[in-house]
Amino acid sequence: MRALWVDAGNDPDYAKAALHGIDSLYFDVRESRLNLAYLDAVKAKGYIPGVYFREDWPEVPKLPAEAAAWLSGKLSPLDRGPDFPMVCLDIETHDIQGYVLPFLREWRRRRQKRRTDWTLEGFQGGLVSPQDASAIAAYIIGEGSPGYVCPSNYGGAMQPFAADRVALDLVAAGFTHSILKGMNDAARLGERWDGYAFTQGRLP
């Protein structure tokens, strides 16, 4: 899996995507230009289309169930099936019990089979109990194409973290290694990188 976040307001840079072995392209779900024809054109270029969501966008409702409903509504005009488009949830709140789990619960009530990944800050395993990890994994895997938990391999100033240590932090919290992929700084992709590249604008 080599997915690229395309910065809001930008079209894909297909030359750079090909250079870095990208296989899927994710777009800001709020973009008015996103429609089925646009995503079909992305697929025709050989890329799997996806959309991303952040819980801290100003227009997103504050309550988790309402936020999940908002996202589901945004997805409806773009929907061709459980993996078209795929969804990446950028939910970085530290409130696992009060936000992350209620959001995922409502999301799966509305979108049982949607291919869905969740990205969070790196080194947040201490926030997650084994019971939480089990519940999150069940929601992420869902009933369709299995998704992934994707911790950031960098800090808030884009300082690099050791990817293996970030993954081990979540394994210690109760996640299986097979469900983990990285959210990687697109400016520092290694030769054998896997997961997401953040963002297209940082690609060399």
Could you read off the pLDDT tens digit of each residue along the chain, which spans 204 residues?
A: 999 999 999 999 999 999 999 999 999 999 999 999 999 999 999 999 999 999 999 999 999 999 999 999 999 999 999 999 999 999 999 999 999 999 999 999 999 999 999 999 999 999 999 999 999 999 999 887 789 999 999 999 999 999 999 999 999 999 999 999 999 999 999 889 999 999 999 999
Q: Please count the CA atoms within 13 angstroms of the CA of 71 that sit on its side-chain side.
A: 31
CA dist., res. 117 & res. 165, Å (int): 20
The amino acid at 58: P
Task: Output the pTM of the full model.
Answer: 0.96
At a CB cut-off of 8 Å and minimum separation 6, what does 56 contact? 92, 93
